[in-house]
A = this chain, B = another copy of it.
Amino acid sequence: MTPLERFKKFLSSQNLRMTDERLLVLDEVLAGSGHFTVSDLIARVQAKSESMGRSTVYRLIPLMLQAGLIFEVSIREGRGEQVYEKSDTPRHHDHLSCEICGAVIEFEEDAIHDLEAKIAKRHGYRLCRHVHHLRGICSSCQENLITEAVGARGGSFKTL
């Protein structure tokens, strides 16, 4: 069953209707590659259909969430907008980032995935995805902390 068919099924199961606008937005979501923001989506959709209203797109978001076509990415970029992700995107959410300079390293550790699977199973969950952030201080920022006269920041970060 394609995502589109699935969504149509979802709509009719909820007594909701399929419309040209929804189809267009949906196409755009499925065509896109991974993460997106509502304003991204609006821009892309409006490029194809000038008249598309912002609220139509906003109103479609909770439906796509419910239907499982997309999900919320838990990190918002800055103060800004919610980021969403197509639900068939591969799930690589393991990163290690620096609290100070923001540098991000992505990592992949099978042993951790195995443990995650074990934990989910232990609690009877079927695992869909995972978000795993490690945050610390990268080596160059550690050096800066030592060199800095102040030292105020250094002392304030706990080591796990």
Contact = CB atoms under 8 A, between A and B. Distances in A.
Contact size range, A: 35 or more
B156 A142 contact: no
A134 B127 contact: yes
Chain A interface mostly: mixed
Given A126-B159, A128-B158, A133 B74 contact: yes
Contact of A160 (B127, B151, B157): B127
A153 interface: yes
A153 B68 contact: yes
A96 interface: yes
Interface stretch (A17-25, A29-37, A49-57, A111-119): A111-119
Given A67-B152, A133-B131, A157 B6 contact: no
Contacts of A135: 127-131
A46 to B, nearest CB: 23
A9 B160 contact: no
A139 interface: yes
A105 B76 CA distance: 23
A150 interface: yes
Interface string A121-141: 001111111111111111100
A156 B112 contact: no
A158 B155 CA distance: 43
